[in-house]
Amino acid sequence: MILYDSPVSGNCYKVRLLAAHLGLPLERRPLDVVDRSDRRDVIGELNPALRVPTLVLEDGRPLAESDAILFYLAEGTPYLPEDRYERAQVLQWMFFEQYQHEPNIAVVRFWVGWSKDRVSEEDIEAKRQAGYVTLDAMERHLESRAFFVADRYTIADIALYGYTHVAHEGGFEMDRYAAIGAWLARVAAQPGHVTIDA
Amino acid sequence: MILYDSPVSGNCYKVRLLAAHLGLPLERRPLDVVDRSDRRDVIGELNPALRVPTLVLEDGRPLAESDAILFYLAEGTPYLPEDRYERAQVLQWMFFEQYQHEPNIAVVRFWVGWSKDRVSEEDIEAKRQAGYVTLDAMERHLESRAFFVADRYTIADIALYGYTHVAHEGGFEMDRYAAIGAWLARVAAQPGHVTIDA
């Protein structure tokens, strides 16, 4: 399989992390996340949103959106529960992640790390506050649980780990969050774990 | 089942539309989308994100995030393909919807209709431009297709219909989009269709 990839994107890292757990080889083709001028030429026919990750399956069929890719690869494996309600809970947390986690926590990290001169401190701080609301919700959920769904490590954890474990790079004070900290350590201790810069 | 609902929310409407197709009765409990001060009291134990729609199943278990609810309700019905790749494509379009459609097209509609005095014209216009990028991607996809996935009406169409069919309320010029217009008509012609104000 071919992964149109960015080494620094948490969304791409999610796919690489699950692929590592599953022992699936990926041919990585990096795209620039700042200069996006080649996107339409390279992945225009593969992903209407022109974003990475974009996966091309062995038979040539494309798949986009990081959490849809996770769901596809995890079907029939221990990383996606078979129970209908638990699968829906996994999706609930993945939609939570794409709707309210990534647009705040990942975007603040990107602004601080890659485009600080083009964004105001006020905009960064507004998104950072929204990010803290999201982290607060995760902390409350994890105070009584080892993992997000079904008491075990699933793609819901992988989806949320992607940008939570690098949130400090966006200036988030993660030592406020004891339950998230313990969960991050549990995820990193899973067999076959790889880091974002692996 | 109980649906914590808003009559004007496209996210809630998606759930009501699929429930109507499936003949599932819903007890609707409306929450205010402007004054959200009661959210923690009413749905704090049901949905960590404190948003509508929040569904409570017949056995009392809660489920949140509109597209996760659609996936749950559609399992085993014609509205969700059984093929693994087609299911992933449905999810791809639902994540596209929550990541880049709803945050632009729904938010502009909300700002214009419910909180115009609190938002600058500049902010509205920036989001409207991002919304047009999203509509352009949908138009290209629909130019050669009747529905988003698998050549038939699925929850991918329901998810995208929710806010596309009211995008004009946010000032989007929808007559630019012939393929989207034809698709909107095909969705509205499905057996069991209900309108957002039903």
Percentage of chain A with pLDDT > 70?
Answer: 100
Contact A68 B91 (CB under 8 A): yes
The answer to whether the CB atoms of B137 and A49 lie below 8 A apart is yes
Interchain proximity A102–B99, CB inside 8 Å? yes
Pick from B49, B61, B94: CB nearest A96: B49
For the stretch A89-131, pLDDT in tens is: 999 999 999 999 999 999 999 999 999 889 999 999 999 999 9
Closest chain B residue to the Cα of A48, Cα to Cα:
B137
How many residue pairs bridge chain A and chain B with CB atoms within 8 Å of each other?
99
Taking an 8 Å cut-off on Cβ atoms, the answer to whether A91 and B68 are in contact is yes
Q: How far is A72 from chain B (nearest CA, A)?
A: 6
Rounded to whole angstroms, the Cα distance separating A104 from A128 reads 7
* Cβ burial A143-172 (10 Å sphere, 16+ → b, else e): eeeebbbbeebbbbbbbbbbbbbbbeebeb
Please name the member of A91, A98, A102 whose beta carbon is closest to the beta carbon of B71. Answer: A91
What pLDDT digit, counting tens, does each position of B102-160 carry?
999 999 999 999 998 899 999 999 999 999 999 999 999 999 999 999 999 999 999 99
Compute the radius of gyration of chain A from its Cα atoms. 17
Nearest CA in chain A to B40: A137
Does B23 have pLDDT greater than 90? yes
Flag if A68 and B92 touch (Cβ within 8 Å).
yes
**Closest listed residue to residue A73, CA positions, set A15, A12, A4, A30:** A15
* A95 closest CB neighbour out of B68, B85, B92: B68
Q: Do B68 and A92 touch (CB under 8 A)?
A: yes
Calculate what percentage of chain A has a pLDDT beyond 90: 97
DSSP A30: E
- Separation in Å, CA of B195 to nearest CA in chain A: 25
pLDDT digits (tens, 9 = 90+) for B60-73: 999 999 999 999 99
Do the Cβ atoms of B183 and B160 come closer than 8 Å?
A: no
- Domain A2-74: CATH superfamily is Glutaredoxin (3.40.30.10)
How far apart are the C-alpha atoms of B33 and B79, rounded to whole Å? 28
The whole-number pLDDT of residue A107 equals: 97
Chain B positions touching A179 (Cβ under 8 A) are none
If you compute the radius of gyration of chain B from its CA atoms, what whole number of angstroms results?
A: 17
CATH 1.20.1050.10 fits B84-188, yes or no: yes
- pLDDT value of residue A116: 85
How far is residue A118's CA from residue B177's CA, in Å, rounded to a whole number? Answer: 33
Answer yes or no: are the C-beta atoms of A44 and A192 closer than 8 Å: no
Residue A158 pLDDT: 99
Instruction: Parse chain B into domains and list their residue ranges.
Output: 2-74, 84-188
User: How far apart are alpha carbons A162 and B73 in whole angstroms?
Assistant: 28
Reading the block at residue B152, the tokens are 């038939």
Of B183, A22, B33, B150, the C-alpha closest to B174 is B183
pLDDT in tens, B72-117: 999 999 999 999 999 999 999 999 999 999 999 999 999 999 998 8
Partner residue facing B99 (CB), from A72, A85, A98: A98
Could you tell me which residues come within 8 angstroms of residue A120 by beta carbon, excluding any fewer than 6 positions away? none
pLDDT at B116: 85
Higher-confidence position of A33 and A86: A86
- Residue B60 backbone class (left: φ over 0; alpha: ψ -120 to 50; beta: rest): left
SS3 B98: helix
Residues of B in contact with A49 (CB under 8 A): 96, 99-100, 137
Q: Which secondary-structure segment (H or E) carries A162? A: helix A155-164
Question: CB–CB of A138 and B85 under 8 A?
Answer: no
Q: Is B144 exposed, middle or buried (0-12, 13-18, 19+ CB in 10 A)?
A: exposed
Please state the separation of Cα A20 from the chain's center in Å.
15
Nearest alpha carbon to residue B144 among B102, B179, B170? B179
In this structure, the number of other CB atoms found within 10 A of the CB of residue B124 comes to: 17
Q: What is the pLDDT of residues A173-187, one digit of tens each?
A: 999 999 999 999 999
Model pLDDT for residues B26-67, shown as the tens digit of each residue = 999 999 989 999 999 999 999 999 999 999 999 999 999 999
State the average pLDDT for chain A: 97
Asked if B85 lies within 8 A of A69 by C-beta distance, the reply is no
Mean of pLDDT values over A27-50: 95
Closest CA–CA distance from residue A98 to any residue of chain B (Å): 6
Q: How far is A64 from chain B (nearest CA, A)?
A: 6
